[in-house]
Structure 1
C-alpha cells in the first residue's frame, strides 16, 4: 500500500527562499549542465517509481485513511432537506421533500448496533423541508423550514423517545426561516443563520428547562444559509454555506462560556473546499466535512487549526443530506443531486484505509 497523507498549511507557515543567481555560462556549458540536470531528475524519478513498485509488490494500489461502508438504506422515501438529531446513540430523522416536491412529515429512528430503521410517530408540526434539528437534555427538537405553501416557519416541536410523543415547544426566538445551522452544547440547543427573505447571521440558544430562547452572539462571519457545524470539547465549530450566491470558506469557533465567536484558519484557495449544504460531524476530537460541492472528505484538527483530506465519500455527490456521528463513526444519508432523491446510508470510519 502507498499512503498519501495530505496536509495543507496556511500561507503564514511558508518561508521565503533565497535563490542565488547562476554565473554566466557559455551556450555549450549551459547545454551540458541542463542535460545533466535532466538526467539527474529522470534518474531520481526512476528510482522513486522503482521503490514504489517494490514496496507495493508490483501493485500500484493507493490507500488513504477514512473508509465508507454501505449500511441498511433508509426505509422511508428518498428525500432532501430532512432534519435529524441523536439521542442515546440512536439517530432520529424525518421531514424533508421527496422527488415529487411533496413536503414530508414521517419520522424514523436508526440503531447502528442493529443496523436497522424503525418508523416512529409522525413529526408534530406541519410537513416541511430545510428545517433543523438538535437534541437537548433527554429530548430532540425539530423546527423552522418551509411548508407546502412555501411559507417560512419558526415553530419548534420536542420529541420524547421514551413515549414516542411530540409536544409543542416555544417558537424559535428569531424570525421564521430556513437553511439554518444548529448544534448542542451542554443542555442547550443553538440555532441561527439562515434566510427569512434575507440572509441572516443571528444566533439563539434554547433552554429546555424553561422552554425559552435567548439571543446570543451572532455568527462571527458573513450572513449565510446552508452552513455546517460540529461540537468538540464544549465548543462549536461552524462555517461554509452560501451568502448571496457566493459559497463561503471561512471558519469560526463559538465559546458558550464567553459567548464569543473567534475566527480560525480559512479554507485556503488551493484547497477549494468552499461549499454550501454539505454535512459535518465530529469523531474523537476531530471534525469532518464533506459533500455540498464535491465528495472530498476534510478532517479538521482544533488543536492545530489545520485541515487534512481523508479520501472521498464513496456514494454519489449530493446536497442537503443528513450527517451525524455515533460511537466513533460518521453517517451520511438522503440528500439530492438534481432531481434525484437518495435513500442510501453510509458510515465513515476515519481509522480504516480506503483503497483508491
Structure 2
C-alpha cells in the first residue's frame, strides 16, 4: 500500500523559468500534452526507431533496455518532455549532455558491418522525425483527430525548431506531411527487421517491463492497460513495418482497439491530475517537467526563445559542433583499443535526466 500512496501523491509543482521553445500558443504543446503523446505516441517512436540498423546496434551494445528498462525508459521520456515543455536553460543543458552520452555509442554494426555513431546527423534525424511523427499519428488516431492544414504546417515548422537541439541539420526536416512521408519512403530500403531489432521491438512493446512493482490487487488491471497500449501502438504502425519486424498485422484487432483507447484518452484528457498520475506510473521523473504545462502554471518569465538563442546565451556549442574531443576519445577507445567507452557523459547526466541505477 505504501507504493500505491506514493503513486497517488504528486510532487509540488514549481513554475518553470520560462516557456522554453514552444509555449501555450504552439501546436506542438497541443499534440504532445494530450494523453496520447507520452503514452502510445512515445512507445510507437521508441519501437519504430529500432528498425534502423545503426540505432539498434548502439542500443543492443549497451543492453540498457534489458538490464535497466525502467530507468532507461524514464530518462528517455524525460528528455523528450524537456525538449517540449521545460525551460530553455535546462533543455539546452540536457541537449549538450546528450551529445556526451551519445559519444559512447560508437562501434561496428554486427548486421551490416558498417560503422555506427549515435551522434551521426542522419541517425539523429531518424530519431527526431520518428518521434514527432509518432506523437502526431497517435494524436490523430486516438485523440481529437487530424490537424487543420495551418496547424499541421506550424507543427512541422516547430519540429524543425526542435531539431536545433540535435546533431542533425534543421534544414533537413520536412515542413509538410507529404515531405515527412517521402522521408520515410527514402528510409525504407535502409531499415532492417534483424533479430536484434525484433527482440528490442517486442521488448519495448511490453509496457509491463517499464512499470514499477504493482500491488497485488492492481496487477490484473495494469496487465490489461499494458495489453491495450501494446495493441494501440501496433495499430498505428504501417503493415509493411510490422511485417518487417515480425509483429501482428491483424486488421480486426486494430479496429477493435481504436474506440476503447480513444474513449480512455478522452476521459484522461478531462483531468490533468489523472494524466499526471498515469505519467507518474510510466515515468516519475517526467512529472515535474510536464506538470506546469498540464496544470497551466505560468512560468517566472512567460516568454519563448529558440534553441540557437539559448545555446548562445548559456555558452553551449550547437550540438553538431559540440564535444568533438570527447567523441574522438570514445572512438579511439572503442575502435582503436578495443576498450569499452567511458561513462563520463552518462554520469554527468544524472542530475538532469535522472538516476541510471
> Common fold, TM-score beyond 0.5?
no
Bigger relative contact order, structure 1 or 2, given CA contacts below 8 A and separation 6+? Answer: 2
Structure having the larger proportion of residues in strand:
1
Superposition TM-score, scaled by structure 1 size: 0.29
The structure number with the bigger radius of gyration is 1
Larger helix fraction of residues: 2
Q: Return the TM-score normalized by structure 2.
A: 0.29
